[in-house]
Structure 1
């Protein structure tokens, strides 16, 4: 039996927290209403944070709160009381990127501190400095190959190491991007990134206004900054071989289907590795492709990236094979359930039921009882709560999907 490796999943709100913990995460990372790099996410009010900590701890799982903005002077005035509050409610750690924030957390609490990937740690000496200052964990920069991570682990073995294994990649070094601020006034380093790296760009010559030339020779144009999404499932054992302590999935602003499936797949891989019987299964990759993605890249893990890591195809920048249509929210009786509709659904439509253990059940949708109209119907629309009767064995938080 190898050491336990943590699976850390994103939670943009309470629903996503419940989902990722149900589908196999050991811990979740989330942001409060202050000081985090997802200002446009739902985020957690103070009362939601308290509920999140209680819910996770009742399951024997952890919650990390992000304090990872690069703050300006005035923001530091509000931080001490917030840090004390986070310690009071029992969060398991905070994620920080800034030296001043790090010092402030140390001065005002005994919270565990995880150093953010925003701190761009790419060598063992910088990791050791953070450890010597009191960091419990360092989240390594994304720009590292497997052998570099292994060297950091060998040189500094008394601090936890965390790495990203799945999700969106930033075109800038560990997310330190000024493009959004320059073009839109929305500061990526303060949580408000407009993602201009996903926009389409062409070259214009000074004396030929109105003539647009693609940066690469492609008649459809190109996204010159647009990285494919990170996916490491095909070599996840090699990452675990480096001795890291936590595997992190990106995606606090993504939906519950992505959060559930990504968590579930990497849970299976970690468990297979921990049991000493690891073997990659193609079905893991197939399941990840059911979620929305910009095609996949191995990032920097296997060496330097090239143009194959960029997503040039403007006609297919996102793809997925399946669509979430409903979530089971209550089991009423042995064959009756209450479901929340996420996309339009028809009677007799073929669907698949995704369970938390990875089981996929094929079924057909029965007639729906619409709780709002109190009528039976053969079609339901998004944001509807409906009751169904079916012989399929469902449980709360099962997800219902259909092929696109």
Structure 2
């Protein structure tokens, strides 16, 4: 008998209303956002109630849901007004809140019935008994800790029917999520209340201090300064494992990332899910294309986190980034005129006549061409457009749609790798 596979939702980050709309247009089944209270991304351009309402209405047109992260650790007095806040979210049409603190969980459950409660990864859920515990308290979904292995995930799925949300892409903490106080000590900013300064990603001098001897600086003896920074997670070529093991939601991290990142990564994971559910052969046929597509956006190097074993030194960034994207995001399409084959674009980076560019859009559509017949908003022919957010027109050889993105090849940049594993980016 053929096994029926459940379609997992693709859950994308949305730090602003613009990013929410982009994520939904590029295939997100749900997005997670932050409000102006109780969240962990104080710098993510968090949503007002009015923006939430507009976002919910926009998402509904595409059949998508909106979740709100309220996953900060509560100190005495922080809970004031939470009940009214949760009721407002429910009445706006928010589907669920993502919470880690038991106080907020209790308040949401009692003050806003009908609002789903999802357990945040900040609560470090790593076994099925934990999921069952939260289920008894009324939670409908648990976001697993990033430290869970694929073997553990499979066992958890067998033993509980609680919805499982698992990270598939984005930044990795060097510590257990929700357990780190580096930022508190080193910058007086509380990582568990929205103020993480990412102290683990700073550069540090190393010292050698043999027992009974004075410490000795290693500066000059090692190629680069030390960092505790982890590489990013990417499970794009392991989506079959996530689907086969019954994950309900594939979570992409990055509420502070650009619309270029959100559109590209969402597009890839949606295409991966669609392809595998059509047939394993279809997924295998496009897998390398998906991996290559990921490298067109700015991010750290990529690995699979803890899914297939404890990360080694190869999954840490001890020095400079070793791989740099070959493309830069330059524009988004505003309109297209079929009669004249002219696209109106909103510029996001420097554009030159003759630049090699790639257009891409929802549904994993993309093609390459060159910037041709570049004009400014007044209709003047120009060779270079240096100012962001200007409206420009260009000739495009095939139809594009409003919302499609344009990225340009960074010509002449190559990475030279050294024997010690470090690299330097130079012009060819």
TM-fit CA distance, 1:337: 2.7
Which position in structure 2 is the counterpart of 1:241? 244
Cα distance in 1, alignment partners of residues 309 and 30 from structure 2: 29
Is the aligned partner of 1:149 residue 2:150? Answer: no
The one-character-per-residue Cα deviations of 1:357-378 (angstroms, maximum 9, x if unpaired) are 212211111233322x663322
1:113 and 2:117 matched: yes
> Hey, what does 2:407 align to over in structure 1?
401
Structure 1 segments unaligned to the other structure (5+ residues): none
Provide the secondary structure at the position in 2 that maps to 1:150: helix
Secondary structure in 1 matching 2:177? helix
Deviations 1:260-292 (A, max 9, x none): 111111111111222233533211111111111
Shift of the alpha carbon at 1:160? 0.4
Aligned residues: 398
- 2:423 equivalent in structure 1: none
Deviation of 1:66 (Å):
0.7
Task: Report what 1:58 is aligned to.
Answer: 61
Inter-CA distance 276–390: structure 2 relative to 1 (3 Å threshold): closer
Identify which of 273, 288, 292 aligns with 2:294.
288
Structure 2, unmatched stretches of 5+, are 411-428
- 1:126 aligned partner: 130
The reply on whether 1:32 has 2:35 as its aligned counterpart is yes
Pair 121,370 (structure 1): closer, same or farther in 2 beyond 3 Å? same
Deviation >6 Å, runs of 4+: none
- Distance apart, 1:192 and its partner CA: 1.6
Is contact 1:292–1:318 with CA below 8 Å preserved after alignment? no
What do residues 198-250 of structure 1 show as CA deviations (whole Å, max 9, x unaligned)? Answer: 111123479968x5336x97332321x11000011222211222111000000
**Does structure 1 retain, via aligned residues, the 8 Å contact 2:7–2:243?**
no
Q: 1:307-322 counterparts in 2 under 5 A? A: 307-314=313-320, 316=321, 319-322=324-327
For each residue in 1:171-209, what CA deviation from the matched residue of structure 2 results, as whole angstroms up to 9, or x when unmatched?
110243111111111111111211111111123479968
139-148 or 276-285, larger mean C-alpha shift: 276-285
Q: What does residue 343 of structure 2 align with? A: 337
The corresponding residue for 1:353 is 359
Normalised by the size of structure 2, how large is the TM-score? 0.89
1:293-312 Cα offsets, whole Å, 9 max, x none, are 21111110001222121012
Alignment of 1:373-392 (within 5 A): 375-381=380-386, 382-392=388-398
Deviation of residue 333 (structure 1)? 5.3
Say what the alpha-carbon RMSD is for the aligned residues: 1.9
Residue 362 of structure 1 aligns to a residue in which SS? strand
Once structures 1 and 2 are overlaid, which stretch shifts more, 33-42 or 267-276? 267-276
Match of 1:95 among 80, 83, 98: 98
Quote the offset at 1:127 in angstroms. 0.7
| Contact map agreement 2:206 2:226 (CA 8 A) in 1 | no
The separation in 2 between residues aligned to 1:333 and 1:306, in whole angstroms, is: 53
Contact 2:15 2:34 in 1 (8 A): yes
The equivalent position to 2:143 in structure 1, one of 131, 139, 145, is 139
Map of 1:77 onto structure 2: 80
SS at match of 1:37: coil
Instruction: Deviation per CA, 1:316-343: give whole Å up to 9, x if none.
Output: 2662221111001233554233211111
- Which residue, out of 344, 365, 375, partners 2:371? 365
What residue is the counterpart of 1:213 in the other structure? 218
Q: Distance in 1 between matches of 2:344 and 2:47?
A: 26
8 Å Cα contact 1:363-1:392 kept in structure 2: no
SS in 2 for 1:80: helix
* Cα deviation, residue 100, structure 1: 0.6
